[in-house]
């Protein structure tokens, strides 16, 4: 078989298993996920033995210690992954929920019922625990899943998928509900991305380069999340103590993630009072400030910001700072330079809060809380399959429910079209 035929063969089997996945009962899904969690713990020796093969290969290939770290299935990672699966098992099952139902003048009742998407493709990089997390989330939503992890993690990924297949077999369910692409060649991704009749949605998880590669080459719809250039706007009516606390948390609590703050916008009426306080706390937290001219007139120690700072996703302890005339200028700036990820306003002014909530159409719009709160766990969605910064299908953190769609159901008693 050619590479392309191998890919088609595996994806076809996965597609054929989608109906089995969709009709699994709530309790069967819970049982299977709990069983996989138990197997992750019980079969740790097997997992770590397979993982060692990957680590040896990665060391021989000269991968960085950070990469090796992400690749390692330590006792702690295995326990966390198992606990994560148990959490997903306990989460409400979205399938079958009738989101809404209404009556029509002819006596028909019409509703929208949540159903699985069908087959979801996940393309990701080195962490093998994504295999378990993503597989479990897709399965919980009643989907079949085709996984393509980094080639450096192939032995670990095969081992984890084997545990899923064992649990599925013990439950009497078709094991093709979860599959790995049968080859680690990068070209296999290209073949997979052409199979629009067999795969309903592709979710790439990884850096911007991977996501752009997938989006550029896919006939299958793709959930995209390129970057997070998040803003915090300190309104003239802000509680300045709160504004400082939220700014420091948003920037410094974990600067390397997509919901970390990148640009601080400050209303000119409060800039003189706010910026010195904020600068002191941010500097103490190790943050480098890059300010506009007006900001630097207040805090002289800031470096000058250039046009390149406004669209920058630093993912580091660096913060761009700009003084704005009013909320219009703040919203214009966010519209121009933002990435539709997360924006916060700090204010005690009712009208200002409502206007910001209405006019800023990023995936998360927050009043008086840190941008770091925009997260599936924090929002109570349960585990997150990813985050979408494009508006089709889903926008923002995606939990199990966002791996479903709705069909129309009609309950009639003989209605015809006149």
196 part of the interface to a second copy, by CB under 8 A: yes
Nearer residue to a second copy within complex by CB, 150 or 396: 396
Other Cβ atoms within 10 Å of 224 Cβ, number: 19
Q: Which two tokens stand for residue 50?
A: 């397979």
Q: Select from 29-37, 157-165, 285-293, 354-362 the region that touches a second copy (CB under 8 A).
A: 354-362
Find the Cα–Cα–Cα–Cα dihedral 356, 357, 363, 366, rounded to 10°: 90
Strand order across the beta sheet in which 303-304 lies = 303-304, 288-291, 318-324, 261-267, 230-234, 342-346
Q: How far is residue 65's CA from residue 211's CA, in Å, rounded to a whole number?
A: 24
Nearer residue to a second copy within complex by CB, 54 or 343: 343
Residues 101 to 140 in contact with a second copy, rule: CB under 8 A: 102, 104, 108, 110, 113, 115-118
Closest to 140 in 3D by CA, of 114, 162, 172: 114
Other Cβ atoms within 10 Å of 125 Cβ, number: 18
Q: Whole-number minimum distance, CB 417 to a second copy, in Å?
A: 4
Q: How far is residue 324's CA from residue 319's CA, in Å, rounded to a whole number?
A: 16
83 part of the interface to a second copy, by CB under 8 A: no
Nearer residue to a second copy within complex by CB, 34 or 393: 393
Single residue of 46, 69, 74, 96 touching a second copy by CB under 8 A: 96
CA separation, residue 302 to residues 99, 186, 298, 322 (Å): 51, 45, 9, 11
Nearer residue to a second copy within complex by CB, 54 or 402: 402
Query: Which residues, 6 or more positions from 169, have their beta carbon under 8 angstroms from its beta carbon?
Result: 175
Q: Select from 50-58, 263-271, 310-318, 390-398 the region that touches a second copy (CB under 8 A).
A: 390-398
Find the Cα–Cα–Cα–Cα dihedral 249, 252, 255, 259, rounded to 10°: 20
Q: How far is residue 200's CA from residue 84's CA, in Å, rounded to a whole number?
A: 25
Nearer residue to a second copy within complex by CB, 153 or 314: 314
Q: Whole-number minimum distance, CB 160 to a second copy, in Å?
A: 27
391 part of the interface to a second copy, by CB under 8 A: yes
Answer for the pair 368, 346: CB distance below 8 angstroms, yes or no: yes
Q: How far is residue 255's CA from residue 237's CA, in Å, rounded to a whole number?
A: 27
Nearer residue to a second copy within complex by CB, 234 or 298: 234
308 part of the interface to a second copy, by CB under 8 A: no
211 part of the interface to a second copy, by CB under 8 A: no
Single residue of 138, 366, 383, 400 touching a second copy by CB under 8 A: 366
284 part of the interface to a second copy, by CB under 8 A: no
Single residue of 53, 59, 186, 254 touching a second copy by CB under 8 A: 254
If binding means CB under 8 A, how many residues of this protein chain bind a second copy?
A: 70
325 part of the interface to a second copy, by CB under 8 A: no
Residues 18 to 77 in contact with a second copy, rule: CB under 8 A: 19, 22-23
Q: Select from 68-76, 123-131, 164-172, 395-403 the region that touches a second copy (CB under 8 A).
A: 395-403
201 part of the interface to a second copy, by CB under 8 A: yes
Closest to 368 in 3D by CA, of 383, 386, 349, 384: 349
Q: Whole-number minimum distance, CB 267 to a second copy, in Å?
A: 18
Single residue of 3, 190, 210, 215 touching a second copy by CB under 8 A: 215
349 part of the interface to a second copy, by CB under 8 A: no
Q: Select from 39-47, 165-173, 249-257, 269-277 the region that touches a second copy (CB under 8 A).
A: 249-257
Q: 115 has which bridge partners?
A: 405
397 part of the interface to a second copy, by CB under 8 A: yes
Question: Side-chain half-sphere of 185: how many Cα atoms within 13 Å?
Answer: 12
Q: 100 has which bridge partners?
A: 112
Q: How far is residue 119's CA from residue 121's CA, in Å, rounded to a whole number?
A: 7
Helices assigned H by DSSP within 61-197 = 65-71, 75-90, 129-140, 154-170, 187-192
390 part of the interface to a second copy, by CB under 8 A: yes
Binding site for a second copy (CB under 8 A): 19, 22-23, 96, 102, 104, 108, 110, 113, 115-118, 196, 200-201, 215-216, 219, 221, 239, 242, 245-246, 249-250, 253-254, 335, 357-359, 361-370, 372-375, 378-380, 390-397, 405-417
């Amino acid at each position: 078989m050619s590479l392309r035929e191998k890919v088609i063969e595996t994806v076809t089997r996965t597609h054929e298993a989608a109906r089995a996945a969709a009709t699994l009962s709530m309790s069967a899904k819970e049982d299977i996920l709990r069983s996989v969690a138990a197997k992750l713990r019980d079969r740790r020796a097997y997992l770590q033995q397979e993982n060692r093969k990957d680590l040896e290969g990665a060391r021989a290939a000269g991968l960085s210690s950070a990469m090796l770290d992400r690749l390692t299935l330590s006792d702690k990672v295995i326990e966390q992954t198992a606990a994560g699966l148990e959490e997903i098992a306990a989460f409400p099952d979205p399938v079958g929920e009738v989101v809404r139902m209404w009556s029509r003048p002819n006596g028909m009742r019409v509703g929208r019922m949540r159903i699985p998407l069908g087959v979801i493709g996940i393309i990701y990089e080195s962490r093998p625990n994504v295999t378990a997390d993503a597989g479990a989330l897709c399965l919980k939503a009643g989907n079949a899943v085709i996984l393509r992890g980094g080639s450096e993690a192939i032995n670990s990924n095969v081992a984890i998928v084997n545990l899923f297949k064992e649990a599925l077999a013990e439950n009497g369910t078709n094991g093709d509900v979860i599959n790995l692409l049968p080859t680690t060649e990068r070209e296999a991704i290209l073949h997979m991305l052409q199979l629009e009749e067999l795969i309903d949605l592709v979710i790439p998880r990884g850096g911007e380069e991977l996501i752009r590669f997938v989006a550029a080459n896919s006939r299958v719809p793709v959930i995209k999340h390129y970057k997070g250039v998040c803003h915090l706007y300190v309104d003239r009516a802000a509680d300045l103590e709160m504004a400082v606390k939220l700014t420091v948390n948003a920037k410094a609590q974990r600067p390397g993630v997509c919901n970390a703050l990148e640009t601080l916008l400050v209303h000119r009426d409060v800039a003189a009072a706010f910026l010195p306080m904020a600068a002191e706390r941010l500097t103490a937290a190790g943050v480098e400030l890059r300010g506009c001219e007006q900001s630097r007139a207040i805090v002289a120690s800031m470096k000058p910001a250039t046009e390149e700072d406004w669209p920058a996703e630093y993912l580091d302890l660096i913060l761009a700072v700009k003084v704005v005339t009013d909320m219009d200028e703040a919203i214009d700036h966010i519209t121009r330079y933002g990435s539709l990820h997360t924006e916060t306003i700090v204010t005690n002014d009712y009208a200002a809060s409502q206007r910001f909530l209405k006019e800023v159409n990023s995936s998360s719009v927050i009043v008086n809380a840190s941008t770091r709160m925009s997260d599936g766990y924090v929002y109570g969605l349960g585990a997150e399959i990813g985050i979408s910064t494009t508006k089709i299908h889903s926008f923002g953190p995606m939990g199990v429910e966002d791996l479903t769609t709705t069909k129309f159901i009609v309950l009639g008693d003989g209605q015809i079209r006149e």
